[in-house]
Amino acid sequence: MELTLSHEDAAFRDEILQDTKAVRHRGRLVPGAEHRMVDMFIAHEEALSLMQHLTLSLAANEAGLSRLASSAKSKIGHAGKFLADQAVQLRGGIGMTDELSVGHYFKRISSINIQFGDPAYHVMRYAQLDAAA
């Protein structure tokens, strides 16, 4: 998961921001693009914070790591999918081509999301662990 939300992805987010600012619809920014970019920024920062919390908890060997890991996998998976979907939407159909990094990110996050259980599996796992606690 850490690879998914690395500084490389922050650079990707900045690239999408600059790219979207350059795309104009009748001389103006694409309608709603600024709001989408703000939502993308918030989702990225929330997921990054959760990943950092998980990393610190693992280092400290805190109790309840299984629940925390499942909640992190689910939340980060949903955030990554949201970021990828929004990036493709902001770029339109060309966002899925291999010419743009958006398409690579979309494919990458899609494959990472299904490794070790998808977000839906980890929501169920979290509920089971929470009920057992």
The CATH code belonging to domain 7-132 is: 1.20.140.10
Per-residue pLDDT at 55: 93
Domain extents for the chain?
A: 7-132
Mapping DSSP to helix (H, G, I), strand (E, B) and coil, where does residue 126 land?
helix
pLDDT tens sequence for the chain (133 residues): 444 455 556 666 677 777 666 666 666 777 777 888 889 889 989 998 999 999 999 999 988 899 999 999 999 999 989 988 888 887 777 767 777 778 888 888 889 889 999 999 999 999 999 998 7
Burial (CB count within 10 angstroms: exposed 0-12, middle 13-18, buried 19+), residue 108: middle
What is the pLDDT at residue 124? Answer: 96
Question: Helices (DSSP H) in the chain: which residue ranges?
Answer: 7-22, 33-60, 65-91, 101-114, 119-132
- Quote the pTM value: 0.79
